[in-house]
Chains A and B, each alone.
Chain A
Amino acid sequence: MPREGILVPNPYVRITDEQVQQIHRASLQVLLDPGLICFSKKAAEIFHSHGAEVTTASSADHPHWHIKIPEKLVIEALDSAPKTVKLGARNPDNALIMRGDEPRVYFISGSETNIWLDVDFPAYVKKSDSSIEIQVPEFHPRRATVADLCQSAHVCEHLETLDGYIRTVNIQDEDITEDNKDVNKFFASLNNTTKHFMSGLTKLEQLDNVVRMAELIAGGKEALKENPIISFITCLVKSPLQFVEDTTDTFIEVCRRGLPTVVSSSPQAGTTAPIKEAGIMAQINAEVLAGITLGQMVNKGTPLLYGSVPVMARMDTLGDSYGSVETSQYNIDCVQMARFYKIPNYSTSGVCDTKIPGQQASIERLFSDIVVTLSGPQYLHCAYGLLDCNAVFCLLQAVLDDAHFQMIKFFLKTPRINQQELAETMKQIKEVVATPQKLYIRYIRQVMRSGEISAPYPFEGDGESDSVFALAYQRMNELLAKPVEHIDPDTTAKIFREIPGLLPRLNVYKEGK
């Protein structure tokens, strides 16, 4: 049985059907004129061989091509792209089944940040009364390591609402190089979570090692096809409208191998996309359609997700503003576009502008988490623990986010109003009104135990003190103390024998560990 996620009963709709059609038509127009600039020779050849208009516009340093994609190719790709995509997992009960026309939401971590935020709680004594001491959380940023990646996968394994794991940090240990980064980040993550694992690839040459590792874990080539425990995210199109060489080549190779891949585009309204909603939507949709078209030309029927990471530019810095209201608007528009094409959607929420956990982080995250969830994306990269746009990951924040999603999931439960419920409660009303105390309390008990009543906020302190961070930190350590199911010893030994570049310290069965 796959994970349930949460089915949004009546998804929030922001744009009308006519507006969806208008964006679709505008995107097709963009694909034809101006079309895309392509820095990947492979992609240019594929487009050319399928009938797209490809013209060489090379300079000696940066050979590139202009590609105009006719509507026919896009429509064929949209027809052949699978409408249901399965993302498998080491534990098959953690698999995710996504139907493009079904607003069933899965909550996913991510993305790849350079900075890991440690937290501790130093004590402060009140100047005017030394008997009063309080503990205040302090956050310390540092470069992330492979041990951090293991820890975050470990905690994410135990976060109840988290359905799948996108690698959270970019590993930057001294012994991590461009050549061994991929195998180590895949192994560190897969060894510490039994949930689905998605990641980008640093170096195309490592793709086969990573796929082989996944085959060993899944039980072979065919088993991996049946249960794709890994998937990839590729930002092949750089906004505006440019196929980047390395990620496009990676995308092509992943598609050839038939593994699930996100076609992701992340334009910034105001800088790399038009500032107006109509403009950024026409462009991002064109960029994703271009990727889907390429993927289907490479391997008809290869599973793809419509990946949307649109973002508004901050007016003060022209950096990304994930916390802005517009960012959520764009994401919801994209959810609707993906649903129009019936292709499962990778959407974004929860990434906040602020640098540390706190009130601003909670407000920004919860706002976008709620509104984007309500629109019913299938694979919501809701960025447990992510701060400072995409720059910082904090495990404590991930634990706090889990509490948000428990509320959101509870809110989306199907209302239980029917004749039987009404008949039972009518009887209660009559009974209670006839009693001297006129209280319904005795009827709470069974309902409470059936899970029909929401739990109070888990990090509520006693009295008037705010203990949210301290209690979440305690919870984080409890989760770290819980065991995780590692890859079994035989498979681990095989992986370490066959896959080059793995750090010996990641082998939990190594002598002395």
Chain B
Amino acid sequence: MAKRDIISLIRENVIQGRVAQDDEGLDGGMVGEPGVTELIEKALAKRLDVRDIINKGLTEAMNLVGQKFEQKEYYIPDMLASAEAVGVAMKLLEPYLAQSGIKPKGKVLLATVKGDLHDIGKNIVTILLRGAGYTVKDLGNDMEPHSIVNAVRAEKPQFLGLSALLTSTMVNMRDTIQALEESGLRDKVKVIIGGAPVSEEYAKSIGADGYGSDGFQALAVIESLTST
């Protein structure tokens, strides 16, 4: 398989949202053909340039997926499937980024705050951020403020995303931000919040740096904060 073939296949499989060979893809009938996982492994085995894999394979594919989404040919589940495929690819490529001179876009910690077990929104944001090239560490649900502070201290992320679904647990976002302040870490990390009961106003009132009303807005906010 030629270099160009592998990269175009990666692109095609990201567009189809195929993580691995077991996926049937959007158009169906693709089970058994190599998916993004197998193709990235092949590309690495053939020592293809990691920059080409990322730029001509993954990024170009996601640009096309974005266009399809704007043209209403693709829907959110399609975007997420493609983003998930890119996230898996980036995980495989991670060990090779430094030697290829590629700087990661940024690191994001995500958590659902204390008392809350709802994680659909957080999980969608995880997929989207990974698909956009961020390194994401998902801390899980029902996270105590001090556990989040410890993780921020250890992982040194650029961003911390906090999620809550309940009006009774959203107040724990404020407690988490206060805990960051008390530990002297608040200015080391940008805090973005999201979830059904919270709003832009609430984000401001608790001293968060940003608010995402859905996964795509969360990604957009982080992208805008990355570039500032």
Residues of chain A whose beta carbon lies under 8 Å from any beta carbon of chain B: 436-439, 441-442, 444-446, 448-449
Contact across chains for A439 and B17 when beta carbons are under 8 A apart: no
Report if B24 contacts A (CB, 8 A): yes
A437 pairs with B127, CB closer than 8 A: yes
B residues 60-95 near A (Cβ < 8 Å) are 75-78, 80-81, 84
**Set B81, B123, B126: member contacting A442, Cβ < 8 A:** B81
Taking the complex as formed, is B171 at the interface, i.e. its CB lies under 8 A from any CB of chain A? no
| Docked pose: A222 CA to B138 CA in angstroms | 74
Contact B77–A438 (Cβ < 8 Å):
no
Residue pair A445, B78 in contact (C-beta under 8 Å): yes
Nearest-neighbor residue (CB-CB) of A450 within chain B: B28
Pick from B17, B24, B80, B123: contact of A438, CB under 8 Å = B123
Q: CB distance B123 to A448 under 8 Å? A: no
5 contacts between A and B (CB under 8 A): A436-B126, A439-B120, A442-B80, A442-B81, A446-B24
A436 to B87, CA, bound (A): 12
Within 8 Å of chain A (Cβ to Cβ): is B9?
Answer: no
With A437-B127, A448-B75 already in contact, the answer to whether A442 and B28 are too (CB < 8 A) is no
Q: How far is the CA of A437 from the CA of B86 in the complex (A)?
A: 15
Query: Contact check: which of B28, B120, B126 meets A446 at CB < 8 Å?
Result: B28
A439 and B124: CB pair below 8 A?
Answer: yes
Q: Find out whether the CB atom of A442 lies under 8 angstroms from the CB atom of B84.
A: yes
Point out the residues of chain A lying under 8 angstroms from B77, CB to CB.
441-442, 444-445, 448
Contacts of B76 in A (CB 8 A): 441
State how many angstroms separate the Cβ of B196 from the closest Cβ of chain A. 15
* A437 lies within 8 A of B126 (CB): yes
Pick from A436, A437, A442, A449: contact of B17, CB under 8 Å: A442
B124 contacts which chain A residues (CB < 8 A)? 437, 439, 441
Residues on B with C-beta less than 8 A from A442 are 17, 19, 23, 77, 80-81, 84
B102 interface hit (Cβ, 8 Å): no
Top 8 A-B pairs ranked by shortest CB distance?
A437-B123, A444-B77, A442-B81, A441-B77, A445-B77, A441-B80, A445-B26, A439-B123
Residues of the A chain whose Cβ atoms lie less than 8 Å from the Cβ of B75 = 445, 448
Using A437-B84, A445-B26, A445-B78 as known contacts, list a sample of 17 further A-B pairs with CB atoms less than 8 Å apart, ordered by residue number in A: A437-B123, A437-B124, A437-B126, A438-B123, A439-B124, A441-B76, A441-B77, A441-B80, A441-B81, A441-B124, A442-B23, A442-B77, A442-B81, A444-B77, A445-B77, A445-B81, A446-B24
Residues B120 and A445 in contact, CB atoms below 8 Å apart: no
Residues on B with beta carbons closer than 8 Å to the beta carbon of A436: 123, 126, 138
Task: Give 1 or 0 for each of B93-130: 1 = CB within 8 Å of chain A CB.
Answer: 00000000000000000000000000010011011000
In Å, the complex CA distance between A511 and B124 comes to 62
Across the two chains, which residue of chain B brings its CB closest to A438?
B123
Collect the chain A residues with CB atoms within 8 Å of residue B17's CB: 442, 445
Closest to A436 in B: B138
Inter-chain contacts of A446 with B (CB < 8 A):
24, 26, 28
A439–B126 alpha-carbon span in the complex (Å): 11
| Residues in chain B near residue A438, CB distance under 8 A | 123
- What residue in chain A is nearest B19 (Cβ atoms)? A442
- Alpha-carbon separation in the docked complex, A454 to B77 (Å): 15
Question: In whole angstroms, what is the CA distance A444 to B74 when docked?
Answer: 12
Contact residues in A for B123 (Cβ distance below 8 Å): 436-439
Cα-based distance from A439 to B123 in the complex (angstroms): 8
In whole angstroms, what is the CA distance A251 to B126 when docked? Answer: 70
Q: How far is the CA of A446 from the CA of B28 in the complex (A)?
A: 8
A451 to B: closest C-beta gap in Å: 14
Nearest chain-B residue to A431 (Cβ)? B22
- Tell me, rounded to whole Å, the shortest Cβ–Cβ distance linking A453 to chain B: 10
Q: Shortest beta-carbon distance, A508 to chain B, in Å?
A: 35
**Distance between Cα atoms of A437 and B124 in the complex (Å):** 8
Residue among A437, A444, A448 having the largest count of chain B Cβ atoms under 10 Å:
A437
- Closest partner residue, chain B, to A446 (CB atom): B28
Q: How far is the CB of B28 from chain A (nearest CB, A)?
A: 6
Contacts of B26 in A (CB 8 A): 445-446, 449
Chain A min CB distance to B86 (Å): 13
Closest to A440 in B: B77
Q: A442 CA to B83 CA in the complex, in Å? A: 11
Residues of B within 8 A of A444 (CB): 77
Q: Which chain B residue shows the least CB distance to A444? A: B77
Give A42 Cβ to nearest chain B Cβ, in Å. Answer: 61
Bound CA–CA A437/B123 (angstroms): 5
Q: Give complex CA distance A449, B28 in Å.
A: 11
Nearest to B84 among chain A residues (CB) is A442
Could you say which residues of chain B place their CB within 8 Å of the CB of A445? 17, 26, 75, 77-78, 81
Shortest distance from the beta carbon of B110 to any chain A beta carbon, whole Å: 11
User: Once the chains are docked, how many angstroms separate the CA of A304 from the CA of B76?
Assistant: 51
B127 proximity list for chain A (CB < 8 A): 437, 439
CA gap between A442 and B19 in the complex, in Å? 10
